[in-house]
Every structure is written in C-alpha cells, then in structure tokens.
Amino acid sequence: TREEHITLLLALAPSFRPQVLDIFFAKNPDFDRICTEFGGYSEKEHRGIVPTGETVMFLLTGRDVGKRNALMEMFRAKHVFYKKNLLYLEDLDDTKPMPSGRLLPHPDLVQKLVYGKVLPPKVSPHFPARKIETDLDWEDLIVAPQTQTQLQDIEYWLTYSNQLREHPELGKRAAKGYKALFYGPPGTGKTLTASLLGKSADRPVFLVDLSMIVSKYIGETEKNLANIFKKAEDKGWILFFDEADALFSKRTENESSNDRYANQEVAYLLQRVESYEGLVILASNLKDNIDKAFLRRFQSMVHFEAPKYPERLRIWESILPQDLPLDTAVSVDTLARQYDLTAAQISNVVQQCFIHTLSQSANTISHDTLVVSLRKEYEKENRMFEDKL
C-alpha cells in the first residue's frame, strides 16, 4: 500500500538520504522547541533525525485517531514488515507511548541494499556465535554404519523440508524445524558432522559460544540467546550448541531462588528451540545430562560412539600421508587393533609423527616416533600406555 511504501522509505532514509529528514528539525515558534507531533529521535552518533512511529503517524494520519490505530497494525507480528524482516518499531517499556519507539529498518535489509547480500555476523556480545566451516568431505567422516544412517535422515530433511512445509496436508502438522542431539565422547566427529551438514546443504553453520551465553545475572542468559535466534530467523542457518550440558541440563526440583531462575532459563530455551524453523544441533558427551523435556522433542538422537576396530583401521588408513609411510616394522592393522583412540586422537598422533619425522630428515614414520606420540595421547587422559607394536 501507499502507507507501507512511505513507512519503509522513512525507515531507510537515515541510512541513505538522512538530509531529507532535516525538515523535522523545524521548531514550534510558540514553544521554541521541535514540534512534538513530528516525533523523531536525535542521537549523539547521528546528527540527523531518526524517525519514530510518531513521525509515521504525523505524515500519514494527521489528527485522525482512528487511522492512527489502523496504521499501528503495520508494526504487529502478523504484518509483512515483521514476517519478512523489513523493519520494526523499537520496543519501549510500558511507561512510554508506543509510537515513540524508533522506526528501524532490519539490518539485513540495509546490508542487502548496500552490499547486495547479507553479511555474516561477527562474534560479539550481541551475537555470541561463530561460523564454522570445513575443507573435509563426507568420505573423511568415518563413523559406525548406524550413525551414518541417522545422519542421512538429517540430510534428507535439509533437502526436502521446504516441500514438507508447503504440502497442503502434511505442512499443517509438520514441526517448525528439526532438532538433533549428537552425543558421545569428545573427538568422535560431532563438530565435523555439523560442518559437513552445512556444507552439503549450502547453509551456514554457527557454533554458539556458551561462555558468552551463560550469565550469572538474572535474565541475561535468555537475552543473549534471544539475540542469536533473532539474527538466525528466516535464514536457514544451522545452530550448533557444543557441550550443550551447560544450557540444556536437567532441571532441579529444589526451591532455592538460583534453582528457580535456572529452571526458567531451561524453559525459555525450550520455547526458543521449539519455535526455530531451521536445524538446531545440541552436542553432549552424555545423553543423560540433557533435560528430558528436550529429549522428547528431538527428531534425531545420534550416538557418536568411540570407533571400534573396523572404523579405527579406516581412520588410520585415511589420515596417514601417502608420501610418508610407516616403517615396514609397524603394522597399520596392529595400530588400529591395539590402541583405542578416537578420530581426533589419531589425527593428533599422525600430525605429531609427521613433524617429528621431518625434523629427523627421515623417509618413514618409525616405531619409536609412533610410540612417543601414542604415549602423549594416552597420558592426556591419564590412561596407562603399553607398547604393543
């Protein structure tokens, strides 16, 4: 409509033609101050006028109170402005008139108009998450067959979720998004899998920084999390909560004030995760650490178990460099059979061996070099090491 076009242009004016709003600096000669009916907001960082809801009302309704009420519908959640992330009216507390909030274009809209695309957000207190990517491919992820099958289900959802939502019958009943739990010991491929899902579906993956999310101050944890979901809305991003126990752990039945606030945080998280229309992945070392209310809502719970001999053999064979083979006295089969290591640990061993072998100007990875590197990995976990090569 004409009113919507004018409102959108008004919101964009400070970013593109701020001088067109200078007219609103005109003063009421009777009171020697800017006319109240103009609305507008002046900031230290911006010498011009930032329009408010009052500015819209002045231009489009004059003194027609009924029309003012009708135009306020443009700032409701059901309006296209909100649904398409075009603009919004700043939320104010109940002590201030609602139309006096600033009229703000959505940052994504401004970026699209300036740069032709939405720029990836930077890690900050306002967006405590970082984008993760990988140069590896699916064939580099070696997991148990049942794990691979479950991951394929998530791939299918990323590929066909739009068709599911648009289906005339199934779309009404379909869950808004997809929630998956990855659980298992560290180094078994949970983070790599999240990156590969994003890579294959051409969707950004953001690893949420829990150290910036969880706050000792009441209400701050919910606020920090809300910033992430608000930024991610309608973009198809994959949100990955690693070591999710810190946020999604079991609620307590105690009645102390701290416990009540902790339970409120979990309830809030549950609601936000439930309403997110993209893929949310929670990663934990133990499934039992996650609150049961969350477990009931997962479409997939994928167990990344420590690799057994067949997987360990494939991991060793895939990671060992072809141009720097093992000494003939060392067997890859023996390595895989005798040493209970995860993919991350095997990768660490091979990288250490590679560097030490180069430093010795050798052409093969020796038994002694392997033993030193293997021992280091075992000692990290206070495990007893025995040379079984």
In tens, the pLDDT along 210-225 reads 777 776 555 677 777 8
- What is the number of residues in the chain? 389
**AA identity, residue 86:** L
What's the whole-number mean pLDDT along residues 164-193? 89
pLDDT in the model for residue 29: 87
* DSSP string computed for 172-209: HHS-SSEEEEEESSTTSSHHHHHHHHHHHHT--EEEE-
Q: Round to whole Å and give the CA distance between 216 and 235.
A: 30
Q: Are 191 and 207 in contact (CB under 8 A)?
A: yes
Whether residue 141 is predicted with pLDDT greater than 70 in this model: the reply is: yes
Domain with CATH 1.10.8.60 in the chain: 309-381
Positive or negative: CA dihedral 166, 170, 174, 178: negative
pLDDT of residue 219: 65
Top-confidence residue, 134 or 113 = 134
Helix (H) / strand (E) element for 280: namely strand 279-284
State the average pLDDT for the chain: 87
Q: What was the pLDDT predicted at 265?
A: 62
Q: What is the pLDDT of residue 53?
A: 87
Mean pLDDT in residue range 306-333: 94
Pairing between strand 238-241 and 279-284?
A: parallel
For residue 319, pLDDT over 60 is answered with yes
What is the structure's pLDDT at 377?
94
The fold for domain 129-303 equals: Rossmann fold (3.40.50)
Tens of pLDDT, residues 338-357? 999 999 999 999 999 999 99
User: What is 309-381's CATH topology?
Assistant: Helicase, Ruva Protein; domain 3 (1.10.8)
Question: What H or E segment, with its residue span, contains residue 284?
Answer: strand 279-284
Token pair listed for 347: 């990768």
Which residues on adjacent β-strands are paired with residue 249? 290
pLDDT of 263 reads 60
- CA 290, CA 57: separation in Å to the nearest integer? 49
- The torsion angle over the Cα atoms of residues 379, 381, 387 and 389, rounded to 10 degrees, is -120
Other CB atoms within 10 Å distance of the CB of residue 230:
12
pLDDT tens per residue, range 250-273: 555 555 555 554 566 667 777 888
- At 90 the pLDDT is 85
State mean pLDDT over 145-161.
95
Which residues, 6+ apart, have CB-to-CB distance to 359 below 8 Å? none
The span from the CA of 255 to the CA of 207, in Å, is: 33
Q: What is the pLDDT of residues 92-111, one digit of tens each?
A: 777 787 788 888 888 888 88
Q: Specify the pLDDT at position 344.
A: 96
Q: Is the pLDDT of residue 238 over 90?
A: yes
Q: Check residue 292 and give its pLDDT.
A: 78
**CB-based contacts of 235, cutoff 8 Å, min separation 6:** 118, 204, 278
249 confidence band (pLDDT: 50, 70, 90): low
**Helix, strand or coil for residue 313?**
helix
CA-to-CA separations, 173 to 133, 167, 177, 293, 370, in angstroms, rounded: 33, 10, 12, 20, 55
Can you list the alpha helix ranges (DSSP code H) found in the chain? 2-16, 53-61, 65-71, 80-83, 107-115, 145-166, 170-173, 190-201, 210-213, 220-232, 245-248, 257-275, 292-295, 309-319, 332-338, 343-359, 367-380
Handedness of CA 313, 315, 318, 324 (dihedral sign): negative
CA distance 206 to 38: 42
Between residues 372 and 77, which one has the greater pLDDT?
A: 372
CATH 3.40.50.300 residue window(s) in the chain: 129-303
